[in-house]
Structure 1
Amino acid sequence: MIFKIIKNPKSKAYNEVVALGDKNSKTLGFLPHSAFAKYAREGKIIGAYPNGSKELIGYILYRVSYNKVTIVHLCIPEEHRKGNTASKLVRHLKENTTQYDGIRLSCRNDYKIDRLWESLNFVPIKEKPGRGKEKLALTVWWYPHHHNDLLSQISDYELKNKIVAVIDMNVFLDIKDEREEESLALKSDWLLSEAILYYTREIHNEINRGNSSEIKKSSRKLLNYFTELPFKEEQEFKKILEKLEHEFPAISKNDKSDLKHLAYSIIGGAQFFITRDKELLQSKKFFTKYELKIYRPSEFITRLDENIQVSKYKPQRLIGTNIKSQRITSDNIDYFTRKFLKPDEKINHFQKKIRKALSSPHEYELITISKSEEILALVIFDRSENEKLSIPIFRFLNNSLRITLSKHLLFKAILTSTNENRSLIEILEVYIDEELSNSLKEARFIKTEEKWKKINLQKIIDFGNIKELISEMEYEEIEDSLILDPGDENYEFQKKYNLERHLSPLKIQDLDIPTFIISIKAVWAEQLFNDRSNEKLHLFESKNELLLNRENVYYRSSSRNLSAPARILWYISKNPITKEKGHIKAVSYIDEIFIDDAKKLFKQFKQLGIYNWKDIQKTIDKNGKIMAFVFSDTELFKRPVDLKFIKGLLKTKEEKKFMPLSPTKIKTETYLAIYKKGLL
């Protein structure tokens, strides 16, 4: 089948479309010829033709508003309606409008073609009266185009620390009609503090089969109390559904819906599926290969503590690499004990720490990290004290990623502590060798007696007020760790700067440090900053060493308008794929700047950079030189700061225009205003 965009209102093809539309106006609704012509000029009419034929066998006419596509006409001549022309036209539209949020349409209920829209993965989201005299009911159908936002941090602390469970239609109706006590227990406040209950988009189809408009309306209203499981991979969904249909042949519409719920749950990453369906419960072992557990409501509730432990330590890719975290259980504790026990350590003492963590899932996070079945690390986070993150076990076996991984986990511990408003990290691990000590020092941990600690303060404050935030002893400990020369003319600057780095993410308001806005393309920003625990970065094959580093390198032309040390704000340019507008989403520090022969610098920093040689060739100057700057301790904003705000701020505070193509030096007050905006 061939699809053609019909643009010329004077063409034969256009006249055939109008004639076909007029012929079917009773079902399509009247559309003036002037409107047909407008849609044609906008390229919003697509005609379908058999291969090798000029006969029009259908057309689709659509409009775009508020970043959504709306199908106005889908028309197939009566003699061609037994084929799948309609499906092919809609699929073609889906494939060619992925830049928009999704596709919607309104269809009269009495046409009874719900099966078509369901087969194309549209779901009915609401009903509304028609515009005709009879006000015949219309159903609004919706198909989403899900986009992965660059630089979007997963709300990973909340999601990693809550159970992700999907309820089926029967459990949903149990809650709605208050008819089954074991299902009603899912509404308990204590349970909802530990679990997030989702529904899949298939529930829209089941609601649409309700006996009356009032029943459908009340069911849709209840959906507001739950969350729809994200739907991203249509082809993967179809593959999983085919496998399930082969294993469990569906007889009725409800049977088919059950399988769709399960397929959506699997591709959506749900951990648990809650149902009272006896046949499905008897087949629960089949779904273990998909890492999906099938429970009755009562069974799910009684096993909640165990479920909490599983959800926290469910195997998952670590920041987009093939490195995984996995759970320690009572079944494999002996194996991990043998791997990480030190020669002079008592086995009972070591296992006691692990069992304590296992028995208190609300307070402890215990994971082991591996790569291709090779065990790499064992770490425990202890959250039993509100303002402190303790790490009683911090162990890494000998392997090529040992130090890189230790630095990364220290950096993640700092981010975790900051996000949870914990002002102190203490590492109580006693088996710290020289290599790990160097990692701790680099991350600005300080050794005191038998532990290492770091203070985290997410504040903006004058240098003179720092002592009010921490104790005199803590201040002296940090001062003692600084290797500074009081006779140095930059002593005051070095003291302020190093204190800011030791107390990060603290920002010292009266630190006179160069500050720049640096522009970066979205594709490079995704590589440098993105942290997605559940998916592989899709633009490039990622390097473990790059993704695990707390420091990276970025190349620019060899102009000398940057300096180090410096604070930087990252301006991510407009994304040509997602159409996301330019914005600032991250801050870092420039640690060092190098200007040298391009090949020499590329070789020197290859283990840190995201570029291939062909990428940096574009910025080499006529002398064969390039600039490379090393940056570290990147902090992602909670929300991006848009270009309009940036331009307005620079105009107000600095009376200059923002030119994103080259590094822009800004005042400290401008930097702090943007920083505050990003963290609100």
Structure 2
Amino acid sequence: MADTHPSTARRIAPVEPGSILLPEVISLGRENAKTLGFFPDGAFQDYASRGHLLACVQDQRVAGYLTFRKRHLTITLVHLCVAPEFRQGGIAKALIDHLSQASSGFAGILARCRVDFPADAIWPHLGFTARNEIPGRATRQPTTLRVWWRDFGLPDLFSTAPSDRIVAALDSNVLFDLHTDRSEPELNESKALLADWLGDSIEYVVTDEVFTEIVRHPAPQARHALQAYASTFRILSDIDPALVRKLTTQLTDAIGPGESPQDESDRRHLVLSVVSGGRFFVTRDTGLLDFAADIDASIGLTAVRPCDLIARTHAELTEQSFTPDRLSGSALSIRPYRAADIDDLAQTFQAFGHHEPKPAFVRTLRDSLAQSTQSKGRIVVGQDGTLQGLLVVSSVDSEARIRLLRTTRGAASDVLARHLVWLAVQDARRAGRGVTRLVDEYVPPAARSVLGALGFRPADEGMAKVNGIDVMSTRDLADRLRSVDSIYPDPTWIEDTARVLEHGQSRLPSRLAFECERVIWPAKLLDTALPSYIVPIRPEWAAQLFHAQLAEQSLFRSDPSLMLRLNNVYYRSSIPRRIEAPARILWYVTASRESPSTRCVAATSLVEEIVRGPAKEVFSRFKRYGVFRWEDVLDLANNDPFGSIEAFRFGHTEPFETPVDLGRVRVLAEQVGAEMPVLQSPSKVPTDLFSAIYREGFQSRA
């Protein structure tokens, strides 16, 4: 059909939070909510603030818009909406083409659409091909979603990674809302959870307490129907009675014991959600929601209304679920375990619920102690002496094998598990082991959920990750990947990745290089478009974020839990504007009156995102990272809450074994023929200088 709206009057524009286009976009979304699903105003605001909302403006009107997420190397469409009077006019294609052109380095765009919607026919015309079909979330009439993919010709290194969906437990009132046929405003808020675009983002679960509440329903027929419906969800049960008792005590101390059977059920719902690794508890119970802050502080579970969960989904997926605030206040220490610890370790970490044989568990612990030159075992201990985590790693030929990876169940178990896996990878790298392999058959769900994001894939035995060593070229990485392809049942991803790495016509785009470095961390790739910077940081912040030696000094009061944080945020003045993401950074610790002898490059990190804006808004978004106080951020903005600052979210931090002092940096710059970087503010550094400083920081490995 001919384009009835000439493209000469058309423009594609990013929609920012204060844009005059945003109300039009929200209005258009509301008009099409029947097919798009409920989308709160806050969700539109969040997508706009992240640059993930595009509008097509024609004849001074919003003719269409799209919202999207960027996760690893995949762009996922959330909404693609065109106003009825502009349909069949090329608006959808213009939006998709614009997004594609602005997404260099990504593997492609993913979309899902119900097969019974007329819009399902448009995707081939937009350059998409059908990949597969999956069940929809409708409760009454079964629906089918077709998965569409627009390929950019690059491999998605995470395409076979385990799911990292948000786990949200449903309160009984929300479950009942989802099951009913009635249409009322409050019921519709809950039913919005069934929107198809949320299918790959959230796993809804129920606790076994919901069946107790169903029994209280007066109508037998309704009881049977609700029991059948509740059984379609994954059911969380009391698998750790000791932890349930402990968390119940903490929760009761925070919000009181309750005064009715319903109150008792509510508290059991909350505790079971935490024990089984839930992040959110979705409820319309205003009594519980009034205690949301106390619930979060006492057991680490976030109680939210359905609409709030939907609004928060984008942030949770973009920034991952491993947010640092979930360890705040927990002073943890890591040490080798001893023979005297074995009985306590078995009592705490043996997988009783999965019938793990105690003799085999104990034998693994004892073997590690007996073979201390080839095996290392460590435990994580809380301030009160309680065991929190266990890691046993053995060296076998060219591999580092994680024989035991255990954490106690609780709100921060996935954060701790991720840190333990990271320790194993660092040990493997120091020992020159080319592969880290997880062979623990009884690894808890919280630990298993982090593996995909860390580069682990299903292997011929357990799950395995390729370890990069030192700094390397893309061709070296291709050779390393091919050298281990036999351990993967489906090595197609290795050949696809290697072919892209060996493509010599241009440097690897920065986004793809960034994802490659995350997968092969801690190695660094030399010949890519990923930029490197050197960033000054005050000693007190370095002590909090990564510098263990400074943290041990009494001059700087540091929270030991911060050393477990794998993702953090650093704030600075937005002037001068020097850094773009993604990027690598070297941390230069400046001098201070308390620590005049620092002046050294002490660590390196990967920067995933840069956010610039008014201090109040930027801090509000990242305050859960917990390192900086509002007073610190306000000072950067010259005491103006609306003054401009920037924050960059970074991770994969690697503290140097030997910090490189300022004089040595000058020598290295001269040796590689580079200018000495200006250290008063962030400065871009050439790859050769980055490589020289990095190798110097780990010279003991040579």
Greater Rg by CA: 1
**Please, what TM-score do these two structures have when normalized by structure 2?**
0.46
Larger RCO: 1 or 2 (CA < 8 Å, sep 6+): 2
